[in-house]
Structure 1
């Protein structure tokens, strides 16, 4: 469930609404191209601008369309513990296989607050949990000692970490303190180095656009075939950079619209469509990757 290429799925919109038909086609295309698991309602899925009904529907549609072909790791976090619990219950009822729980944002809890928040949710969840640490977005940073303690308290429940801190030294610290914790990258450009240190996959933005290349890259890295992994990484690297040439997920949606006319590049405010400069960077990166 927690390894390889795992896209944080973009959520297609059309005329302001969730485009369910496009999402179903997108999910099947992802699975057909070797994606190992799916994350609905992550950051790239614009979870911050989905209302609660939409949030729960997106997870339900993803689970239904995946139909057991690959695991579904549902974004269910919140900066309000009770809202996170509501998302958890809805994701479980919808048929998700696991939960992705982001660090509470904006209200900036202490490490003691993080321990209390995630412990409360772990005690009440029925599915395995992937912690999601992305301090560049949340300000709150789940420090390695907190990750280790949460895994120690709930070894069968808090089983994985998506780390988008950008600090690869944490992989070693967390391996030494919690050898059984599954560690995933949240930063596409750092994945190859992460494998050498003990990460086993990535919850990815780039895999939205290049699922087969990403799946092949992860398979090579997992097998220790670093010559192939380096070659694929260098094809993907400009695309990793281009996915953040403008506010995400606008570049990913622009690229998907280039690939498929049924996937709109529409985003929700306060995100706006790609600038011309960002589009040019995406165009060039897709050519280098061989997916233009």
Structure 2
């Protein structure tokens, strides 16, 4: 098992992530920290403090100036992986202590699956100095608790902290797209599910996606701090796929569907407006008769 940790100038969060990995019940793993353009000293200090616990299982890659995207940083770590499985543990997320054990057991049992996705819970928190305070939780699972292309076409249903992939799969479908500064994990998941089955694991949450909705700067989540990038790169991925589809099948069917959907939405919108107006008129008439 290879664990890739992406980090940049978030020492309090990285400290928690490193301790989270060391707390796993499974010990047969290697970890690769990709310091993507951040200061060296805070990372090296945290690693050195836990040197005896690593037992030679951790390496650090300092990237001067940064890779340019989170996906390029993930690739740096994953391409060095020596384990049979790869998982990206971003510096602000956490696992249940038995995450690695449960995921590896599931993939060993189902050898035909290309990857495993864990039941996930969102943890809302606030970071003040070196201290994090939890302010709430919410479930984050695929509809029907299964991983399908149908759901992924709408939005990403699997975040990196919850996904364990067979190392051989990267050689078969390619790495994360380094040109995507956002939504790269979603684009990878679309290719992954086309390639094979992704099994869903866990009756209880095993992965915890930590979010800080109001944070600014380095401690923010990209889904909030870089929301415009998410929207633009989401469009880019969809447009690229549409272009490929049109090259193979022509544009006629899509032209029909886009107009059909527009007309259908407009029709039902008008119907609802008429019904609401009728209900209001009927209510006024009843009130008038009572008087």
* TM-score, normalising length: structure 1: 0.34
Q: Which structure shows the bigger proportion of residues in strand conformation?
A: 2
Larger Rg: 2
